[in-house]
Structure 1
């Protein structure tokens, strides 16, 4: 499942409601927000959370709220009776610091509860069991890390997730957005440090292969192009890629929808339907070295393979039988390595983007 973040640091606007509607239409299923960000005015939280909750009810979205210590009380809510939260559309609470396992166990009988995935221990699990927690309502949610160089290490993340899965938890993690980045640092809000400056969908696809069940956009926005890419993946299992023309006669030949062959190759993505297209005479042109994201067509020198279309997943040497006809734009090359066997991918001509 995919979700996204809306923060309560300012009055919620019609523009933000439109964004929520667009994300719901794209197939996102949940919203994350926080009641304990130091820079925010906590006295405004109740009104804004109520408004956000009403949007979630309208668009049938889950609403997970991050709390710590007295965050609920500071925002004007009761700590023990959570009925008023569920009434306004809150479906879950993420527990951060200064909340006891006894309190968490009590909360788990009222709504969905997210434990801090990075810090939960075997002792916590034992204490929650002793306090009669409803484990069917417990999940494990990782943090996001605003400060560069502080995001989680990949090996540690994978090891922790393996332990969480062994203990029966649903796992959540954040990937960065690429618009409306969260202040005051504006450096992205990823769980993993390796994701900080990469394409949000590419980060999400890596996490899907790494035992993560719920993937949320940490920052407050996505570019229109990125939203479209998420929508096509969520609803059609398809990757959209923009490509530049490399100056041959065959650029238009490679544009459009393709399907990666079921028998995945190591170095390239092979278009399953390429040989079923009407194949023109393909002379040798631009037979240069290939890079990650190069789109190629086999020329007449490759005999029975003439017309085969490939998308390179790594750097490869020049071959006089292979024409390099297009190149995936730099900001979308991260996606290329995530096109699995049987997955659709569409190559679109690069045009000037209007945000």
Structure 2
């Protein structure tokens, strides 16, 4: 399940409204926002939160707010009565430091609760059980890390997530955006440091396939048009869009959807549909080295394999029987290792 973030530093603009509309139509189902209220900004923040909540309600989306006890008090609200927040469209609270487990347990019977995945301990779980928390309403959410070099280590991430899932909790992590990055550092907002400068779509697919995340949120407030198209194809049709540069006219032979074979190869992605179709003669052309991401067609010299379409996952030497017709762009190379057996993919040729 995918979600996105929208911050309330200013009133929602028409551009932000359009962006949220687009993501909701694509299939994003939840919104995250964070509220830290200066003493002189309570009125504007309340107005902005209500506007965001109204949007979420109208679209049937969940809205989770990272909101401290102090910020709650400045909104003239308390954990003892969250009905006003529910009326505004808020469906969940992200709890962190300073909120007792007794209070968390109490809130879990009113709305969804997101706890800090990194700091949640066995003692916390025991206390929540003691206070009869509604664990069906509790999830574990990782942080995002604005400062470079501070994102999580993969080994720690795997071990922590394994423990969290053993407790019966759903787990969420963030990936960065790629159009509007959040200040003041503007270096992306990933959970994993390895995702800091990676395409948001590549990072999201990596989290889903290799870390079994239950929820994945875009932490920065913007995705570009190309990335939105990739999410749309994946969420609605489970198709990976791979953008590539054509290198020969033969590239147009394979301008359609393909399926990686069920017996997935180690070194290449093999199109299940291409071989056996009527291609006519395919003379040798551009039979050069095949770097990772090379898109190839087997030529006449490969006899019964003529017409087979492959994408290389590793660097492979030149072969006079294999024509190189294109190259996956650098931003999408990370998708190759996530194109598993029976995965449908489509090559989108970029204009030269």
| 1-structure distance, mates of 2:75, 2:332 | 41
Provide the residue aligned with 1:222 in structure 2: 223
| 1-structure distance, mates of 2:229, 2:293 | 20
The CA deviation at 1:263 is 1.2
TM-score (norm 2): 0.96
* Cα distance per residue 1:321-354 (max 9 Å; x no partner): 11111011222222222111111111122038xx
The CA deviation at 1:114 is 0.6
Structure 2, gaps ≥5 residues long: none
The CA deviation at 1:42 is 5.2
Provide the residue aligned with 1:5 in structure 2: 5
- Structure 1 residues 37, 219: CA separation in 2 closer, same or farther (over 3 Å shift)? farther
| 2-structure distance, mates of 1:202, 1:255 | 22
Pairing 1:310-321 to 2, within 5 Å after superposition: 310-321=310-321
Provide the residue aligned with 2:180 in structure 1: 180
| 2-structure distance, mates of 1:319, 1:281 | 18
The CA deviation at 1:275 is 1.6
The CA deviation at 1:122 is 0.2
Whether the aligned pair in 2 keeps the contact of 1:199 and 1:335 (CA below 8 Å) is: no
| 2-structure distance, mates of 1:259, 1:32 | 35
The CA deviation at 1:250 is 1.0
Pairing 1:281-292 to 2, within 5 Å after superposition: 281-292=281-292
Whether the aligned pair in 2 keeps the contact of 1:35 and 1:72 (CA below 8 Å) is: no
The CA deviation at 1:22 is 0.6
Provide the residue aligned with 1:149 in structure 2: 149
Pairing 1:77-96 to 2, within 5 Å after superposition: 77-96=77-96
Give 3-state SS (helix, strand or coil) of 2:263's partner: coil
Whether the aligned pair in 2 keeps the contact of 1:73 and 1:79 (CA below 8 Å) is: no
Whether the aligned pair in 2 keeps the contact of 1:44 and 1:75 (CA below 8 Å) is: no
| 1-structure distance, mates of 2:161, 2:285 | 48
| 2-structure distance, mates of 1:287, 1:264 | 24
**CA-atom RMSD, angstroms?**
1.6
Whether the aligned pair in 2 keeps the contact of 1:9 and 1:41 (CA below 8 Å) is: no
Provide the residue aligned with 1:344 in structure 2: 344
* Cα distance per residue 1:87-138 (max 9 Å; x no partner): 1111100111111111111111110001100100000011111111111111
* Cα distance per residue 1:248-282 (max 9 Å; x no partner): 34111122211111111111110110024321211
Provide the residue aligned with 1:44 in structure 2: 44
Give 3-state SS (helix, strand or coil) of 2:347's partner: strand
* 4+ runs deviating over 3 angstroms: 40-43
Provide the residue aligned with 2:63 in structure 1: 63
Whether the aligned pair in 2 keeps the contact of 1:56 and 1:89 (CA below 8 Å) is: yes
| 2-structure distance, mates of 1:174, 1:75 | 27
Give 3-state SS (helix, strand or coil) of 1:253's partner: helix
2:196 corresponds to 1:196: yes
- Structure 1 residues 217, 223: CA separation in 2 closer, same or farther (over 3 Å shift)? same
Whether the aligned pair in 2 keeps the contact of 1:174 and 1:216 (CA below 8 Å) is: yes
Give 3-state SS (helix, strand or coil) of 2:168's partner: coil
Provide the residue aligned with 1:238 in structure 2: 239
Pairing 1:96-175 to 2, within 5 Å after superposition: 96-175=96-175
| 2-structure distance, mates of 1:350, 1:331 | 13
- Number of equivalenced pairs: 351
Provide the residue aligned with 1:270 in structure 2: 270
Provide the residue aligned with 1:25 in structure 2: 25
TM-score (norm 1): 0.95
- Structure 1 residues 52, 115: CA separation in 2 closer, same or farther (over 3 Å shift)? same
Whether the aligned pair in 1 keeps the contact of 2:276 and 2:307 (CA below 8 Å) is: no
| 2-structure distance, mates of 1:75, 1:215 | 29
- Point out the more displaced range, 153-162 or 343-352: 343-352
Whether the aligned pair in 1 keeps the contact of 2:37 and 2:71 (CA below 8 Å) is: no
